[in-house]
């Protein structure tokens, strides 16, 4: 009798287990949309999108940017702590080096200036001298490995937007280190946005996505830049060379391709 009872319990257990497995197999399977990878992105498209973002942040400082975001909003999105011009940076260090260190040390700085020269130091590392208040010294901006790329194409007199780590004052010259052009720095944000790792405000995200798509198809003629000025600062404001109807087509396409845009 005891053996029959054990057999019955065993059969009941097996039946319950089979029922649970059957229920599990009938649960709907959530379809995970395949996520784009950085390696799958078009390099020309990423480059054009980074140029667009660089022009947009420059335009925000001048007061003429396509996305209409404020400078503070742009800096927050791009994880930059503070922006300044080379002449103001130099003036801060000339006035009080201790106060300047407190203001800039440990900060990611957007440093805007005019290229005075492109040089190498005694160990072969490249640096840019930006025009400052003292015409014989200038601000010395040391380039990192990424900043070195394209340094040979820089010219004296160019307005340049650098993202740097804070430096100090050496032999009378204010310095910044680990510098690269903003368009180079922004590539990581562009890539993270396109593969869905981060979200951006809708208008800016759509413009960057369209710049990427147009740049992927026509890298040589996808952006046009208009020069804008405020005082001594110059910004090259980007515009996409497509009409409104085409832009809307690209926006619709972008919303199907890039998950970050669908977060809004």
- Whether residue 117 contacts residue 155, with contact meaning beta carbons closer than 8 Å, is answered with no
Report the distance separating Cα 8 and Cα 98, nearest Å: 85
The DSSP element (H or E) to which 166 belongs, if any, is strand 159-170
Residue for token digits 């029922």?
19
pTM as predicted:
0.76
Query: Which letter, b or e, does each residue of 143-153 get, where b requires 16 or more Cβ atoms within 10 Å of its Cβ?
Result: bbebbeeeeee
Give the model's confidence band at 66: pLDDT under 50 very low, under 70 low, under 90 confident, else very high: confident
Q: Which domains does the chain have, with CATH numbers?
A: 40-75+186-263 (no CATH), 80-183 (2.40.50.140)
The token pair that represents 35 in the structure block: 């996520």
For residue 196, CA distances in Å to 187, 190, 217, 243, 255 come to 14, 10, 21, 27, 12
Mean pLDDT over 111-133 rounds to 89
Band (136; pLDDT cuts 50, 70, 90): confident
Specify the higher pLDDT residue, 198 or 89.
89
Mean pLDDT within 105-130: 90
Under the banding of pLDDT at 50, 70 and 90, the label for residue 163 is: very high
Question: 16-31 as b/e, with b when 16 or more CB fall inside 10 Å?
Answer: eeeeeeeeeeeeeeee
Confidence band, pLDDT 50/70/90 cuts, at residue 26: very low
pLDDT at 101: 92
pLDDT at 173 over 70: yes
> How sure is the predictor about 110, in pLDDT bands with cuts at 50, 70 and 90?
very high
Which one is predicted more confidently, 262 or 184? 184
Q: What is the pLDDT of residues 14-23, one digit of tens each?
A: 343 333 343 3
Q: Would you call 124 helix, strand, or coil by DSSP?
A: coil
Report residue 165 as tokens. 């780590």
Q: What is the mean pLDDT of the chain?
A: 79
Whether residue 142 contacts residue 175, with contact meaning beta carbons closer than 8 Å, is answered with: yes
| Both structure tokens of 223 | 């952006």
Share of the chain above pLDDT 70, in %: 77
Query: What was the pLDDT predicted at 33?
Result: 42
């Amino acid at each position: 009798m005891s053996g029959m009872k054990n057999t019955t319990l065993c059969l009941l257990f097996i039946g319950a287990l089979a029922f649970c497995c059957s229920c599990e197999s009938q649960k709907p399977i959530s379809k995970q949309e395949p996520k784009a990878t950085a390696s799958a992105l078009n390099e020309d498209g990423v480059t054009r999108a980074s140029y667009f973002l660089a022009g947009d942040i420059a335009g925000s400082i001048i007061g003429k940017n396509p996305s209409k975001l404020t400078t503070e909003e742009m800096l927050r999105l791009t994880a930059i702590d503070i922006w300044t011009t080379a002449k103001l940076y130099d003036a801060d260090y000339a006035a009080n080096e201790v106060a300047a260190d407190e203001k800039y040390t440990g900060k990611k700085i957007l440093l805007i200036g005019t290229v005075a020269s492109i040089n190498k130091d005694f160990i072969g590392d490249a640096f840019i001298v930006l025009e400052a208040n003292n015409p014989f010294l200038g601000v010395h901006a040391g380039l990192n490995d990424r900043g070195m790329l394209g340094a040979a194409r820089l010219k004296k007199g160019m307005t340049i937007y650098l993202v740097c780590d804070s430096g100090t004052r050496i032999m009378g010259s204010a310095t910044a280190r680990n510098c690269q052009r903003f368009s180079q720095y922004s590539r990581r944000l562009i890539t993270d946005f396109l593969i869905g790792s981060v979200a951006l405000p809708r208008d800016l995200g759509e413009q960057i996505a369209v710049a990427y798509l147009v740049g992927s198809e026509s890298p040589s003629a996808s952006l046009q830049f208009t020069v804008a000025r405020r005082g001594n600062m110059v910004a090259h404001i980007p515009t996409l060379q497509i009409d409104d109807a085409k832009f809307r087509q690209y926006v619709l396409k972008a919303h199907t391709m890039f998950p970050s845009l669908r977060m809004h």
